[in-house]
Amino acid sequence: MGYRYIGSKEKLSDIIISEIKTIYPEATKIIDLMAGTGLFSKALRLNGYCVTAVDVMTYSYHHLIVNLILQQSPEFENITAMISLPKQKSVDLFDSSRYELVIKYLNNLAPINGYFFREFSPEGIPLNGTPSRKYFTVENAAKIDAIRYEIRSLYNAGSINDNEHSLLIHDLMMAANDVANIAGTYGHFLSKFVDRAKVPIQLTPSQFVADYNNYPHRVMLGYAEELAPSLEGDLCYIDPPYIKRQYAANYHILETIAREDEPEAIGVSGLRPWRDQYSFFCSKLHIRKSFERILNAIKCDNFLISYSEDGLLPIEDLMTFLSKFGTVSKKEIKYKRFKSNNSSKDSTLHEYLINLRKL
């Protein structure tokens, strides 16, 4: 399944980057203000830009460390003493990097009936007394528990450093995405296990591509509105949420993997408490105020803003609002709509790229 992230710009990267090159050919420093999966940040760095990426979600932070900061596999220097490598697999020890060995070690852990088993599998008994949930098969949930605990204890023991830790969390989230019993997002689970969800979960080593620029790319976790005063760039790309549904609710299980905690699982769907990551961009009432805080505070004069015809604000209203800050123009892109499996909406979507040049 890979990553089905609402609003992901993975497939639009080339168009957006060519627009950046057109409107600001000399730009070198780009801010990717709501970076999500980090795939667009990665495309920017591979196009020679120095990137600062921001998002309010912890899972995004880990994806960004992998996609933006890591140019090659980390060494996992301190790992060998800690892990007794699986004896039955010793034949390929000499061909594998330490990173690959760690992945094999995690894949071979014995399952543990922990938090994921209890809250997200059909044999678990959720603490809040609701019927069991079917996000993962029993085996996969217990495997996720085992891998989570091991990553945590390796990190606590100082056997993996911050980047290695982010990489393993990223790999676990990607593997969980492949076997999650959901229709696109984690807002709810499906009532019957689909075939994809019955496959045993497997971590796969990430691939790395270096950009050889030696730029000091940066990743920042937090609200764009609050970080804006500390940000500076030639151009700021803003890709805000455009619907009411919060990312924190839609991707709550990834957030729990990323934060390595065991939060109260609320209601039938088992959502984590997510108010601390509420996005004002999902509220018609607050979206303008948030834009205003950002546009006034960032040290940057050129903005490129993605928005969708499905957005909370009609595109013309957004253009009128943004024109208070400078000159605006827009480009229209026809795009394949993000569709959860049960959506009946038309499959073509109009995306807009708004260029704001501050006065």
Ligand X SMILES: C[S@@+](CC[C@H](N)C(=O)[O-])C[C@H]1O[C@@H](n2cnc3c(N)ncnc32)[C@H](O)[C@@H]1O
Nearest-approach distance from CB 129 to ligand X, in angstroms: 31
Give 124 or 311: the residue with its C-beta nearer to ligand X: 311
Nearest-approach distance from CB 244 to ligand X, in angstroms: 12
Give the residue closest to ligand X by C-beta. Answer: 7
Nearest-approach distance from CB 107 to ligand X, in angstroms: 27
Give 171 or 225: the residue with its C-beta nearer to ligand X: 225
Find the distance separating the first CA and the last CA of the chain, reported in whole Å.
44
Residues that bind ligand X (CB under 6 A): 5, 7-10, 34-37, 39-40, 54-57, 60, 223-225, 239-241, 247, 279, 281
Give 57 or 257: the residue with its C-beta nearer to ligand X: 57
Nearest-approach distance from CB 211 to ligand X, in angstroms: 18
* Separation between Cα atoms, residue 188 and residue 273, nearest integer Å: 15
- What is the DSSP-derived secondary structure letter of residue 232? B
Give 31 or 141: the residue with its C-beta nearer to ligand X: 31
CA 42 to chain CA centroid, nearest Å: 12
Give 53 or 101: the residue with its C-beta nearer to ligand X: 53
* Separation between Cα atoms, residue 295 and residue 274, nearest integer Å: 26
Give 155 or 307: the residue with its C-beta nearer to ligand X: 307
* Separation between Cα atoms, residue 279 and residue 127, nearest integer Å: 28
Nearest-approach distance from CB 84 to ligand X, in angstroms: 38
Residue 322 CB burial class (10 angstroms; 0-12, 13-18, ≥19): buried
Strand segments (E) across 187-279: 218-221, 235-238
Nearest-approach distance from CB 275 to ligand X, in angstroms: 13
Listed as own residue / partner, the contacts of 161-164 with beta carbons closer than 8 Å and 24 or more positions apart are 161/74, 161/78, 162/65, 163/65, 163/69, 163/70, 163/74, 164/74, 164/76, 164/79
Strand segments (E) across 167-299: 218-221, 235-238
